């Protein structure tokens, strides 16, 4: 059975090696558990890498950590937690079960490394039940017995191996078999499966290089992402991933055509590539990608296969000529170009393909593109030695030591003294990080801003502008907060937290309409971020743009949020709240929740006549509301209409000690005005007799309110030291005081 073994997880300079992506990546304690489980699945159980997927997108829920497939269907769902997270039922109910409702696996496995819990789907049911004492998950999922354990670890590809042409070419020749066998496992079509894993390999290089930005154009990081996201062909290639395990020749034909399309779109990059000028190289890449995108859009826009646009038909004709030169033959009747994801009603019949040579060419060109991409992307920056260990600078060691000893001010002063010394940029950057952490501990805003500015200048990372804006906001310097946030937006940052911050600044400076616009942008990017939905509507209401607030609410929100809004307004801005509530009541004149809120506002404003009218309207709309008797009688008492108040409260006998006490309070108020005192005492006695037995608090309240003070004192003496006259009177007064009663 699985045993947590963090030693099998490879680390390098704070990065963790992923056995699926075949690259180093950033990750915390949870990532260690995930990779340990992956090592167990791949090397102990021998499950093919092609049957395992990480961070599976579950629409409307989130991302499942690990999914193991069997015959293209989810078999095992694994939810990983850090070792310090307890595997409670909440972990299963709130995450794993939600994923399982969509993916429908046979087994759910939750693990924090130290312990594991398993849940199996009941036969012919949607529910899961927990299984205890699971020595081997293959006993629960016998489908996994088809795999055989492996022993060879996948070694990551070092960055330096790809940087020079000689080592790159050597790697391409020597490791091609490794790509198509060790990475693929038991795939039946090694070349087809190999190119997909090649895409994953190219994607893996993102851990070793940083994006290079030239003007408004951000270099696309890898071939795999581009072919998947920029074209129907690429998307089809990704969707057919698991079909490679099936003897489905038609699927393979379409897949191979997709690969050929990818190859055709980029083959000119291998000819006369301006490797001596990185900027020209990037321009070539940009032009090729733009042409590929337009090419795909043109193909997808063909409405009917007999109505061929001349601009869209030329590239496919050349593409078919290329395929024929590679040994691919077609039926004579097939003379149409590629349409979208291909017309599957009349498909090309591949009679005598030479797939081996074709695939080798694709792999060669793909590697060539990767090499030049790495060359172009890294030219403007110092080459990052991710895979080489360097000795930490003594200045950095001293700064970290001061911070570790919690001598934060000394650490900040030390960094300020050393930052302009003879240091490399990497050491300067890490020194500034020490300064950031120390300044955060002491809430030194100016030092924080200075450190973030230094990090921004060294890295050009736009998110540091956002960090600076957050510090200025905490400092209540709204002008500078907005300036840096707007600069980050202008330079290309599009994030919910950035827009929400701009909204906070505008709201704090009473620019409510602008605040609403930015909260809306934040909500449109991330619906779950920071109550932006509520703040968006709140801002338009504060601007007294009631119609706009109503329209946004109709599009984005719910009735519950609107009610919450009125509760929040009651605490902050009653004038604006009254105006918006009156506007909403014109849209929902018979909504008892809005009417109740309006009556409450009027009651608090001591406009008891209008409050009473609305309470009586609510009573007609919702006669079953047991609380209305209390509310109406309270308004009547405030208008000195005690007899009506008494009759109203007696017409609505209430459940629960609190409401019975209010009834007694109403009777006490009536008694104090000497209105029908005998009738009041009689009704109070009936209420008291209907109360629960041994209710000391209610009994004392009854004696006290009805003037039987001697009996009240005797009751206290019988109860002992746990009850005191002062505490009971305090509690009675607390309950009845809001209704104008005096105990």
What pLDDT does 203 receive? 35
Residue ranges of the chain with pLDDT lower than 70?
1, 13-14, 22-23, 26, 123-125, 135, 148-391, 528-530, 556-577, 624, 626-627, 630, 642-643, 646-647, 649-698, 701-702, 704-707, 718-743
How wide is the angle at C-alpha 24 spanned by C-alphas 21 and 28, nearest 5°? 105
pLDDT of residue 435: 92
Residue 440 in tokens: 């955060």
Q: What is the pLDDT of residue 278?
A: 42
Q: CA–CA separation, 311 vs 295, rounded Å?
A: 9
Burial of 671 from C-beta contacts in 10 A (0-12 / 13-18 / 19+):
buried
pLDDT at position 341: 31
Euclidean distance between CA atoms 688 and 244, whole angstroms: 79
Within 8 A by CB and 6+ apart from 427, the residues are 393, 395, 396
Q: Which residues contact 576 (CB under 8 A, 6 or more apart)?
A: 541, 542, 544, 569
Question: Do the beta carbons of residue 67 and residue 76 sit within 8 Å?
Answer: yes
Contacts of 362 (CB under 8 A, 6+ apart): 195, 259, 260, 262, 263
Kindly provide the residue ranges of all beta strands, DSSP E only, lying in 206-333, ordered along the sequence.
Answer: 213-214, 217-218
Length of the chain: 743
pLDDT at position 195 is: 40
* Model pLDDT for residues 377-433, shown as the tens digit of each residue: 433 333 333 333 446 788 888 898 898 888 999 999 999 998 888 888 888 888 998
The torsion angles phi and psi of 68, rounded to 5 degrees, stand at: -100, 130
597 CB contacts (<8 Å, ≥6 apart)?
563, 566, 581
Q: Measured on CA atoms in the order 394, 399, 404, 405, is the torsion positive or negative?
A: positive
How confident is the model at residue 352, as a pLDDT? 28
Query: What is the C-alpha to C-alpha distance for residues 222 and 217, in angstroms, rounded to an integer?
Result: 15
State the Cα–Cα distance between residues 655 and 618, nearest whole angstrom. Answer: 20
> Which pLDDT does position 362 carry in this prediction?
43
Q: Which domains does the chain have, with CATH numbers?
A: 6-146 (3.90.1570.30), 159-378 (no CATH), 391-461 (1.25.40), 626-739 (1.25.40)
CB 503 within 8 A of CB 515: yes
* For helices 232-239 and 249-266, angle between their N-to-C axes, nearest 10 degrees: 140
Residue 475: phi and psi, rounded to 5, are -85, -5
Return the pLDDT at 560: 64
| β-sheet bridge partners, residue 77 | 67, 108
Backbone angles phi, psi at 359, to 5 degrees: -70, -40
């Amino acid at each position: 059975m699985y045993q947590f073994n963090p030693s099998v997880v490879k680390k390098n300079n704070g990065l963790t090696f992923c056995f699926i992506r075949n690259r180093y990546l950033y990750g915390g304690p949870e990532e260690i558990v995930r990779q340990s489980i992956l090592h167990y699945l791949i090397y102990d159980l021998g499950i093919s890498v092609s049957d395992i997927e990480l961070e599976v997108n579950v629409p409307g829920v989130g991302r499942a950590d690990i999914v193991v497939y069997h015959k293209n269907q989810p078999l095992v769902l694994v939810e990983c937690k850090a070792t310090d997270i307890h595997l409670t039922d909440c972990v299963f109910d709130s995450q794993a079960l939600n994923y399982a409702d969509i993916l429908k696996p046979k087994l759910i496995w939750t693990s924090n490394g130290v312990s594991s819990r398993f849940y199996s789907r009941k036969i012919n049911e949607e529910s899961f039940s927990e299984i205890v004492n699971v020595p081997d998950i293959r006993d629960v999922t016998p489908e996994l017995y088809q795999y055989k354990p492996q022993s060879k670890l996948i070694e990551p590809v070092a960055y330096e191996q790809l940087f020079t042409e000689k080592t790159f070419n050597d790697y391409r020749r020597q490791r091609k078999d490794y790509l198509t066998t060790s990475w693929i496992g038991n795939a039946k079509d090694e070349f087809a499966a190999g190119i997909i894993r090649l895409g994953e390999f190219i994607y893996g290089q993102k851990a070793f290089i940083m994006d290079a930005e030239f003007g408004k154009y951000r270099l696309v990081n890898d071939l795999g992402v581009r072919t998947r996201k920029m074209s129907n062909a690429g998307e089809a290639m990704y969707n057919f991933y698991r079909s490679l395990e099936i003897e489905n020749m038609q699927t393979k034909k379409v897949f191979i055509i997709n690969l050929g399309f990818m190859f055709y779109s980029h083959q000119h990059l291998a000819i006369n590539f301006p490797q001596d000028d990185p900027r020209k190289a990037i321009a070539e890449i940009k032009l090729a990608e733009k042409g590929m995108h337009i090419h795909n859009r043109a193909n997808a826009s063909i409405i009917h296969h007999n109505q061929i646009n001349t601009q869209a038909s030329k590239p496919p004709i050349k593409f078919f000529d290329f395929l024929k030169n590679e040994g691919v033959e077609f039926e004579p009747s097939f003379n149409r170009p590629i349409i979208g994801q291909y017309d599957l009603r009349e498909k090309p019949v591949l009679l005598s393909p030479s797939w081996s040579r074709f695939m080798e060419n694709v792999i060669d060109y793909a590697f060539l593109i990767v090499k030049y991409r790495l060359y172009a992307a890294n030219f403007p920056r110092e080459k990052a030695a991710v895979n080489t260990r360097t000795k930490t600078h003594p200045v950095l060691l001293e700064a970290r030591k001061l911070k570790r000893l919690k001598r934060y001010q000394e650490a900040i002063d030390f960094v300020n003294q050393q930052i302009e010394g003879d240091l490399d940029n990497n050491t300067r950057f890490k020194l500034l990080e020490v300064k950031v952490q120390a300044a955060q501990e002491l809430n030194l805003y100016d030092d924080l801003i200075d450190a973030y500015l230094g990090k921004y200048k060294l890295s050009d990372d736009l998110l540091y502008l956002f960090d600076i804006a957050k510090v200025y906001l905490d400092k209540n310097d709204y002008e500078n907060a907005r300036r840096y946030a707007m600069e980050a937006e202008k330079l290309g940052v599009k994030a919910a937290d950035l827009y929400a911050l701009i909204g906070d600044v505008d709201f704090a400076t009473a620019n409510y309409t602008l605040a609403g616009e930015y909260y809306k942008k934040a909500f449109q990017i991330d619906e779950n971020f920071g109550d932006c939905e509520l703040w968006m509507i709140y801002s338009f209401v504060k601007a007294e743009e009631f119609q706009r607030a109503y329209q946004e609410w109709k599009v984005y929100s719910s009735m519950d949020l609107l009610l919450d809004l009125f509760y929040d307004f009651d605490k902050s801005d009653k004038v604006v709240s009254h105006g918006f509530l009156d506007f909403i009541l014109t849209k929902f004149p018979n909504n008892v929740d809005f009417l109740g809120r309006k009556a409450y506002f009027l009651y608090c404003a001591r406009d008891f006549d209008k409050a009473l009218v609305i309470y009586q309207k609510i009573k007609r709309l919702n006669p079953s509301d047991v609380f209305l008797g209390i509310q109406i009688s309270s308004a009547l008492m405030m208008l000195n209409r005690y007899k009506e108040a008494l009759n109203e409260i007696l017409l609505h006998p209430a459940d629960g000690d609190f409401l019975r006490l209010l009834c007694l309070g109403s009777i006490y108020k009536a008694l104090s005005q000497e209105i029908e005192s005998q009738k009041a005492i009689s009704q109070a006695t009936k209420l008291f007799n209907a109360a629960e037995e041994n209710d000391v608090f209610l009994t004392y309240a009854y004696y006290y309110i009805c003037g039987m003070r001697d009996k009240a004192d005797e009751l206290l003496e019988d109860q002992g030291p746990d009850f005191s006259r002062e505490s009971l009177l305090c509690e009675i007064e607390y309950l009845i005081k809001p209704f104008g009663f005096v105990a």
